[in-house]
């Protein structure tokens, strides 16, 4: 049986961010093996969610895997760079139900492409901010 133990406060913070209309950026950061992934998976239950866990791979492989995660989660086939895929999602989720997108082990994405944080911030400032997406960056 799945149980969430002693994470009610953190879960409520995530729920509060989810309830705010429009784009939200949430960063979950902490030591390894303390339950960040479990908390986020619990939070995503019953919500439209793309949950992607990165690994130590070349950036092209990570981008392809993320595209597949999007396809599998919402049935929207889109290929491209991670930022391009996020921007495509932003155009789909401009109103209506909020979409949660979790990029877990975000540090591996940055290791594979050091320009990602800069490109992501530019995208947030120009495209994602007009969406109804909750983007969660998780890492250690």
Domains with residue ranges and CATH for the chain: 23-139 (3.40.50.300)
Q: How far are the Cα atoms of 16, 53, 136 from residue 13, in angstroms, in the given order? A: 5, 22, 12
* pTM for this predicted structure: 0.92
Given the structure tokens 């149980």, which residue do they identify? 3
CA–chain centroid gap for 14, Å, is 13
User: Exposed, middle or buried: residue 63 (CB in 10 Å: 0-12, 13-18, 19+)?
Assistant: buried
Rounded to 5 degrees, what are φ and ψ at 127?
Answer: -125, -55
Q: What are the pLDDT digits (tens) for 63-121?
A: 999 999 999 999 988 889 999 999 999 999 998 899 999 999 999 999 999 999 999 99
Q: What are the pLDDT digits (tens) for 21-34?
A: 999 999 998 877 66
Q: How far are the Cα atoms of 38, 102, 124, 127 from residue 45, in angstroms, in the given order? A: 11, 13, 25, 27
Contact 37, 138 (CB under 8 A): yes
């Amino acid at each position: 049986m799945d149980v969430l133990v002693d994470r009610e406060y953190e879960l409520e913070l995530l729920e509060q961010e989810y309830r705010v209309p429009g784009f939200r950026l949430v960063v979950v950061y902490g030591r390894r093996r303390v339950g960040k992934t479990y908390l986020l998976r619990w939070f995503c239950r019953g919500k439209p969610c793309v949950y992607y866990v990165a690994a130590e791979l070349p950036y092209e492989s990570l981008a392809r895997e993320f595209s597949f995660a999007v396809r599998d989660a919402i049935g929207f086939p889109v290929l491209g760079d991670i930022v391009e895929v996020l921007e495509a999602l932003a155009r789909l989720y401009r109103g209506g139900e909020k979409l949660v997108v979790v990029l877990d082990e975000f540090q591996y994405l940055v290791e594979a492409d050091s320009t990602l944080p800069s490109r992501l911030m530019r995208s947030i400032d120009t495209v994602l901010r007009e969406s109804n997406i909750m983007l969660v960056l998780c890492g250690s």
